[in-house]
Structure 1
Amino acid sequence: MTLAYVKACGGDLAHWEAHWRRTAEETNTASPRETGASADTAPYLGLAPFQPQDAGRFHGRGRLVAEFIARLSRQRFLAVFGASGSGKSSLLRAGLIPAVADHGVGGRAWRTILMTPGTDPLDECAVRLAAVSDATAEEIHTVLTANARELPRLLGRSEPDQPTLLVVDQFEEVFTLCGPLRRTRFITTLLAAAQAAGSPLHVVLGVRADFYPHCADHPELAEALTDSQILIGPMTTEELRQAITQPARDAGCTVESALLAAIISDTAGQPAVLPLVSHALLETWRRRRGNTLTLAGYQAAGGIHGALAKTAEGLYVSLTPAQQACAKDLFVRLTALGEGTGDTGRRIRRDELNPGDDTRAVLDAFADHRLITLGVDTVQVAHEALIRAWPRLHQWLSADREGLRIHRHLTQAAQAWVALNHDPGGLYRGTRLALAREWASRDDRHTTLNASERTFLDASVQAEDAERLRTARRTRQLRYLAIGLALLLLITVGTGVVAVRQWREAVTAHQMALSRQFAMQALDLADSDPGAAMLLAAQAYRTAPTTEARSALLSMSSLRAYRGSLTGHIGAVSQILFTSDGRLLISTGRDRAVHLWDVRSGAHQATLSGHDTWLKAAALSPGGDTLATGGEDGALALWDMTARTRTALLPGHTRQIREIAFSADGRTVATASDDTTVIVWDVERRIRLTTLTGHSKAVRGLAFSPDGRTLVTTGDDKMIILWDLARHARLATLTGHDETASAVTFSPDGRTLATAGGNTTVFLWDVARRTRLATFTHGQPGQVITLRFSPDGDTLATSGHDPTILLWDVERRSLRGRFTGHKANVYTLDFDPEGRTLAAAGEDGTITLWDVTQAPLAGHTAEATDAVFSPDGRILATASSRRLMRWNVADHTLRSVDSVDSPQINALAFSPDGRILAAAGGAVQPPSKARDSTVTLWFPGEAEPIELAGHTGPVLDAAFSPDGRTLATAGADKTVILWDTDPHRVIDRICRTVTRHFIRKERERHMPAPPYREACTPA
């Protein structure tokens, strides 16, 4: 049979027969070693990765371990890439770490540290480093966040020159489990610590190969990877033979030559099957004959590709129906859905699972067969190979991926709500709650919710219902009051002077009631209909200047960016375009017409008719003289915008046109269609130049590069294709969206490409290098429909299947602002030529205009806790958890971002001259530790702030004296401290108070050898 495999693969029969006979003789005649291992102890680990203590059972990777050590003797940073299942974790854990710990590098002993990032990699790193040094985890964390280049000094306090190896396995967790801020901070810190001059720290990353593009998104990491990466390929035949036979021999077992030959044949050319091999060998060992692993046992287990699925499926089928439901819930929760990558494992806490005997039985069954790993309070799959190999699990994950994402968001929101002590502000509302309720009501979804998720969802529903009842009650009360007052007015008419007075009082009361009603309605409409909200607020105050009216009127300041609405469409608006001079706005939509609007006055100027179907797409030539439109009939219409008449109707597509774009010179126009094609047209000659075919599903987006040489298309097949227009050929294909690639646009300079997907994601790409630069997430789950760069390229606007418009700072890769003024999905956006005004339109048929320079400032990733203007009004400082941001008031741009070593900033204060900024910090709930009781000062011209120590509890407020010489702070420790901000005055006061120099004992204990200047000696 073995020779048949060789013959089928075109191998040399004589060579392989001699090789296998030699192997068989070796494996069958060699005496088992007297290693102390029992033949009853499994020699193979199954899916579980090898750990450092398993080094004695780890074989076949000696060559790679030697290469790693050689590289580490020359460099301090190394990244090991390999496909899931290539054995990289085992290689690092049982190969590299024991080799370095036992023998060192270059004859020197090394300290070794192993970690996985988890949800907070910096915290995890600090804990692991503290275990091998005499510094505490808190000390290390402080250094990591403040100045990572000081870490080598801290690690070297006990043994200054001893090298340290930090292995970060499963590095991909920084992309799947932790947020962007923590991810960036960890990567920056890790590289800074390794690259610091004289650093004893050597860093090795273990990364799944399909996360290589994610690594390239971080410029510092991409640069470090240039000459510091190793790719783990499949084992050679000899290496695989050692990995199979040596553990068996060490355990007192032998391997049949036919079994060895079959495994080598089954794994030929497959780079990521080592977990499957290990599991198949474990199952074969369980079916051994005496102390011999046989081919028959291997085949009974299911072989390489069937053993894992057979084991998992067999266990699942053996469960009761209730236990099967628990198993489904367990494995779905243990899987992190890929975002442009394959699905990965997810470590969860046991309390995320529903408690009970059925859950415990499932955990025990799958843990006993080494398919999952149980920690003290955690659960995870033993290896991600299970996710790929078990068809039933794959079916569960594929059946409703969008529903699984909704569930995952619900899980995270419920956990955050519990952590916030059930703060009502953490509950779901609006669209997010509606999506969760709809998902939870389908089929047996309620059975997959754990107790905290059900409580969270029920609390969210109750809170929304209560708010709805309160609103209805207020409206009803106001209505009854108005009716009652009106009746009172009628009753009092004709009763003389008293009646007149009562009438006036009734009128006043009636007006006040109306004022309050208008005010309440204004606040309710602020997010969905800003124009009506503003009018109602003004009407409320004009009717009667009640407290409620004044509150509503002043609250309209939050809508200062709103510049009005254009109404006149019947049905949804699908496209809006500013003319080149910014004076007119063109819109198309469901009513089959082209509308022209005067932007300044808001007046509707003209309606152009000529289509018989919904107009889905439109584009204006760069010169503004030609308009192209397309719709459900698949035909392209061209319009003369001077004469405002249609000049051509060009049939070409067999299904609806989704997108239209002009080249920069206006001579060419391209159309994208649901028929999977893109047609490029000659505008002047009205002819088809070429048809581009490369997508397998509907094409949704397209864009010309500013130089007109490249066309980019996106579609439902998730592909982003770059086309060379000179050759009408494909240049490259970009991948990353795991659902529909719905939109695409170039930055004005052509260097950056933005693409949008069906899973709320927006990617920024480097066009020249074809690499991903950044990822933005747009609001609620669903498709991002449109993207627009501002004319200067600094801002990217996004909208999608929700009423929200987001503005992103392209350079800083952060959220800059948001607008909410629609009742339904926003389909289209466009900037005016100056970039100051953004037009938006969508499903509700309304076009809204927004002043981009007046957008609410957005950039904090946590609750913003304070804001203060500088005395000259030019700078606004805002604060949140561990973060201080300074903004230019004139143009609302972000000036700087500073990190603060405090869990919460409670108050900010500028000195009267604006030169010093003070921040008072410390978490109030839960009670803060003393180290969180910070007062931080920023001085002009100094890169690093200073911290003042003195409070023993959270610092709640801060204020400067009128002359700016004294800062007062008040704390939860019931004290107010006055601080002098001038170091020279503090020294003078110290010298006046102490009135002496150091005595000899003090010098010997505290001071270095002279020369030095006495602290209180006159200058």
Structure 2
Amino acid sequence: MPLSPLTPADPQRLGGYWLAGRLGAGGQGVVYEAYGEEGERVAVKVPRVDDASSRARLAKEATAARRVASFCTARVVEARTDLPEPFIVSEYVAGPNLRQVIGQAGPYRGDLLLRLAIGVATALTAIHRAGIVHRDMKPDNIILGPDGPRVIDFGVARQVGLTGSTTGPIVGTPNYMAPELFAGHEATPAADVWAFGLTVLFAATGRDALPGLEPFAAVARVLDFRPDLRVLDGTLREAVAGALARDPLARPSARELLLSLLDEVTGVASGGDEDLLPAGGSVAAMLRPPAGAGGGEPDLGTLAEELYQDLSEGERTVAPEVFLRMVAAAEDSEESIRHVPREELPDLTTGGPASSLLDVYGAAGLIVEADATYTLAHPALIHAWPRLREWLAEDRAGLPVHRRLTEAARAWDRLGRKSGDLLHGSGLDRALRWAAAERRNVMLIPLERDYLDASAALVRRTSRRRGVLAATLAVLLVLTVAGGGLAEYLRRVAARERDDSGARSLALRAADLRETDPRLAMLMSVAAWRLAPGLPQSLGALYDARSQVMTDSFADPAATAATVYDLSADGRTLVTVRDGQATLWDVRAHRELRRFTGVSRTARKAALRSDGKVLAVQDDTGVRLWDVATGAPQGDAFGPGTSPYPQELEFGPSGRLLAIPEADGHTRWWDAGRRQRLRTGSGAGVDAVDTDGTLGVVASGGSGRAELWDLRSGRRLKAGWLPLKKDVTDVRFAEDGRTIAVTRRVDADMTAPLVPGSPNSPVRRDGVMLLMRSARSGAPLPGDGAGPVADAVAFGRHDGLVGTWENADLVVLRSRDSRVVVARRLGVQIKRLRFDPDGRSVRVLTVLGTVLTLDVASLLDRPVPPSASTLATALLGPGGRVLARADVGTVWLWDVRRARQIGQPIHVTQGFLPPKLAFSADGGRLAIGAAPRTGGRPGPAAAGASAAGSGGGGAPPPAGVTLVETAHGTVLTSFLLADRRAAAVRELAFAPDGATLAVAPDEPPAVPIEVWDLRRRQARSAQGVIGAVGMAYRPDGGLLVAGTSPEPKLVDPATLTPVRRPGGTWSLDIGAFAFSPDARKVAITSLAARRLSIWDANFTGPSGRAFPETPAGGWAPVWSPDGRLIATVEAGGGVRLWDETTREPLGHIVEALVADERQITLAFGPDGRTLVTATQDGVLRTHELDADRVAAAVCRRAGGPPSSEEWPRNVTEVAASDVCPDQASTH
């Protein structure tokens, strides 16, 4: 709904709600968008009340409206009808109304129309159940929100001035009013049902069944109305026909409508309201507004914060100052907005950051300028924007002092700066105290400083000093004036702000350099942290530097556009050729190794032999070899001259064979020693060859299938598995000659994005598949069929990794399981891909001649235990002390600190998935829940099952739970669930005392949760509560969350009865959650939004502002032991740290090598100084969080401190010697 500005007659606030603007206005009142004290967005209606009777009616209807269950309705939050200006507060539903959606996207059909009808019927059922009539049901009062349709504006009638033949005023919109209302009859629920029918018809046709008319004209049309229902089918047609019956007694009730419509979808034709309303809400929730429908304007706080995130560092520095000066506050009153003269704002006349900040927020409509003053366009921004709310809270006590100081200084200056207008006594005492010690976000402008200095100087002159001044004033005078204390304080503040600003700038610059100059980015990150250790941005930059995948970048400093490049087979030596000179560089040390002249001045391609002793150079005349040690040529030129195509010159692993680009755009292999082109028995050139030159592949020239040849015998080998030549993009033999990799094009509909959901994600428009075969037999090998991949291919790490690339896209697969382990889009096109022999690095030579180094050391980590299958899952216990690994039928325990297995593997009843796992709060116990299975023998988790229930061919045996003592891996006990219908366990959760276990049965899914007293082996059933993924107890034991699908299912642990949230069903979207250690807060990640938020531990509402949104989203939040930090998992297995106090990101602890969805389990160490991670395939890692140790590790990664010569050209804020003071440089 569009927001109109407040008028001068509108209040700034009503009760505890600050107004943002008008959502609508009419003869019967005004509706405002507003925000509560905690920033919650609401709609506030101020109805017109003419007399005592209308006020009484309003109070009665408002009370009834608050009883409406929030199923497909906007919940009424508060109603104040006792005030001179009454108002009603309801939940704000963001989204377009039905009329807007239909007008933009066209009429609804089929399933969409049915879901809309079910949503409206659900809302009317809830409204009528509360004993009220909506009176104004129409498309304009149905909002399509993110959780489905919501009916708004109920319970507070609009009056339309129609009298005459009626007995009183008519309430509603004429063309949606029922016939009986025009006869003066009282509105009943049947009138809403009539409007329901017309609303569904509107949605189905795109037009009002009765066009909008003046009240008198509407009477005749409504009384003579005959609906055309041909556009509707089946049950929906019958429902609308009944709803539009002329006799109100013949119309079905909203509940009857809902039942009939639900029967069409779910087959449920009966049921109580407790089940009916949730069922209707569930079905309707799937109806979302179409993309681009509009109406979902962000709240003021989100808009302001998004603008803030895009500000420069200078603009962020002055932002608190600018916004707080627009807030007026007195000791005995609430805040209000004020108009700020231009001269009050810092550096406005010089075009500084304050000026550009005002431009940014002015263009967004959040700040307005009038008569050379600036003010907030929306008073509600004071509370809607959490960041401004925090600034205000920090300076609230001092704002009245500052306002008096500002006004007094302006008056002093305006009247000629007379002594009589200066501060003295307690007024000066209070102002100095505030200026010296209490202000946080407000700086003094020159006029205010001059005023304070002059006031203090006057006190010194007029005091006779026969005694000391009043103690407080004397101390402040010494601190702020006589001893230069005010100036010193301001200098300290300025120095702190300068350091913070410098640190933020370094952190931002480091972020920009991580891909292009990784080493400088790492050192800048350390410098930022040295400058401002307590700043979230600098600490985040430090963590990012420790985890960044790109670790180095090197280029020939004297390279030109004519320079030719090659990277050695091990990726450690860069060769550059230009102007007849060849230079070899040590990539890791960034230093020159060897230089010689005499090579061709028209060189176009170059290749270094794998032993580094011979350089091949191709120019227009052919290829010539050079001895690197002596710089002397080896023989005459041979082979073709330079090709206009981008194919590269390349030596084979043995150094004897050389691939030379030819004029047809393909690369063919030559015997470099003999200067002979390799040929098959048919005389064709060879596109790929094994290390010793025995096998060759012809993949170009002519049509048909690619060919495999024995080059020694000249015989073609059978290789029907090879693709057609036209589909081959690259062929490569592994170094051992036994494996051949082929990349081939496939149909586009067989492909998908390489890595979805990341700005660094390669996205392919065509499809390329990898074939991995035995070179001789053609038998498929691990990795065969993987894809989509990129065009070019290379082997690495003893042939265990296969790299592919195309343009700027890099994809590395692990051949043993065909899994993509690296997938990144680099900022520049790739020319060569090399695997370092140590397996810890991948190096990329770009077309610009830069060598980029990627840290892939994590790929060397082995899973624990190594014998688990690809289905296995992992779960870390509290404190990260124990890792539980579950495979199909088996669970292992692993001691993280000692790096050894605990006890023997625990065998449980085998299913087709791993069993569910849950640790007790102290980590001493592990519960194992039966996995889904189709029958079989009972194991420990099903001890006591009857033989009849465990047969291999019958129904699955009853589900059970096994308890294990984690110190030694000993099975303590096993038991079957009380409800023997359950064939599996969906979720488990220990109570904080470890003596109670909540179990969510599965298969069938409608079995209620069971809460087991483990000491007595007794279970209680929570009737009506169906468990779901995400079950957990609050740390104080006072609440059980029985799952998060579709929203938190809250249960009272004492009574096992549901606990209703104030927001009602469907009002909170949760992907994952975690309670804080003190049980006062809960961290929530949303399924839809890519951001983390904090709510109170009862899930009643958000606590403070939300965290910034991140492109990769967040999942599985985990709190540090002290509650200061939160770790979340991002797409691809990245792990990000957050500062809960400032709600700022603290960088990545793990940067994902890929960007698809990867599951990972997290746990902070017992002291919070480490973070333990485990992937679902069992790779366990411990990450240091202590900033001093992290800084030392980053310095080591960067090769030690920066050089004193180069550093000042990039950084002036921190000396080179102070960045890594205890380390020596390796560059």
TM range (shorter): 0.3 to 0.5
Greater Rg, structure 1 or structure 2? 2
TM-score under structure 2 normalisation? Answer: 0.33
Q: Which has the higher helix share?
A: 1
TM-score under structure 1 normalisation? Answer: 0.39
